[in-house]
């Protein structure tokens, strides 16, 4: 008896193996065994607006005025952001900005200091 993993997307148990891939016929999701452990995504390289590679703990500065979602505040161009933390997703930098608190930024709007 083979034990196939349930679909990570819709949790269906009707999955099957197709070579190196697992396939879910219910939602058409395909994945590989390795992607089950999401550790590989930590390897993703995140670059600033100049193409410099960013790492956790870097200090960056903001290259354009950024509106803070849900408020009337604006993070001014040139604002220094210390000790950034890289995360996945659309806004790939997690940080704290003096006077604003915890927030997420896009790497394309910052440059390494
Ligand atoms: Zn599925």
- pLDDT, tens digit, 9 for 90 and up, residues 73-107: 899 999 999 999 999 888 999 999 988 899 999 99
- pLDDT, tens digit, 9 for 90 and up, residues 18-28: 988 999 999 99
Q: How remote is the CA of residue 88 from the centroid of ligand 1, in Å?
A: 23
**pLDDT score at 3:** 78
* Structural domains of the chain ordered from first start: 1-39 (2.20.25.10), 59-112 (2.30.30.40)
H/E stretch holding 22:
strand 21-23
CA angle 87, 103, 52 (to 5 degrees): 50
Contacts of residue 101, Cβ cutoff 8 Å, sequence gap at least 6: none
Q: How remote is the CA of residue 92 from the centroid of ligand 1, in Å?
A: 27
Q: How far is CA 18 from the centre of its chain?
A: 29
Taking the C-alpha atoms of residue 107 and residue 104, their distance in angstroms, rounded to an integer, is 10
- pLDDT, tens digit, 9 for 90 and up, residues 39-48: 445 567 899 9
**pLDDT score at 4:** 87
* DSSP at 64: S
Cβ(98)–Cβ(108) below 8 Å? no
């Amino acid at each position: 008896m083979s034990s196939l993993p349930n679909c990570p997307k819709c949790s269906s148990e009707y999955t099957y193996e197709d070579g190196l891939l697992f396939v879910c016929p219910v939602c058409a999701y395909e994945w590989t065994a390795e992607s089950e452990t999401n550790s590989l995504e930590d390897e993703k390289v995140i670059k600033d607006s100049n193409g410099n590679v960013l790492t956790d703990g870097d200090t960056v500065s903001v290259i354009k005025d950024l509106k803070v979602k849900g408020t009337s505040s604006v993070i001014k161009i040139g604002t220094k952001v210390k000790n950034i933390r890289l995360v996945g997703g659309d806004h790939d930098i997690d940080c704290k900005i003096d006077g604003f608190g915890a927030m997420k930024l896009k790497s394309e709007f910052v440059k390494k200091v």
